[in-house]
Amino acid sequence: MLSTVLLVDDDSTTNFLNERLLRRLNVSHRILVATNGQLGLEVLAERCGEDSMDCPALVLLDMKMPVMNGFEFLEEFMQLPLRQQHPIVIVLLTSTQLEQDLGQYQHLPIAECLTKPLTQEKVSHLLSRYFSDGHPLN
């Protein structure tokens, strides 16, 4: 089980459904929500210090948000001190499947890109691929 997951999405319905799915699957002790990239960075700055046990292990990031979008979030994330970046797994959640859109993010620190909606199968895949203590979700 992950200690903390951060959802960064401006859509309250998406956040509600993703949080509900993650809780039902018992993925994390703590699920945090930020409604734009700036708030997401503030969460990381607050919770990812040297002695923090509260730093999100997984960030599920939407691309299209007001104030600061996912691309801007990732650009700023790369400027954070390394202790605040590692070992966070960032997964881009997008509604587009167009390769030309996704290609522009290849240089950014994302583990992978998944199309919305988040499903049990996608969560299981993420846990087994990126977290050594990941468990199958049935």
What global pTM score does this model have? 0.89
What pLDDT score was predicted for residue 103? Answer: 61
Confidence band for 75, pLDDT divided at 50, 70 and 90: very high
Structural domains in the chain (count)? 1
Beta strands in 1-138 (DSSP E): 2-8, 28-34, 58-62, 89-94, 112-115
Does some domain include residue 114? yes
User: What is the CATH classification number for the domain harbouring 92?
Assistant: 3.40.50.2300
Residue at 69 is within a domain: yes
Tell me if 40 is assigned to some domain: yes
Q: What are phi and psi of 36, to 5 degrees?
A: -165, 170
In a domain, residue 113? The reply is yes
Is 45 a member of any domain? yes
Range of the domain at 27: 2-129
Per-range mean pLDDT, top range of 16-25, 49-58, 87-96, 98-107: 16-25
> 73, 82 in Cβ contact below 8 A?
no
In a domain, 27, yes or no: yes
Query: pLDDT category, 135, cuts 50, 70, 90?
Result: very low
Q: Is residue 136 pLDDT above 50, yes or no?
A: no
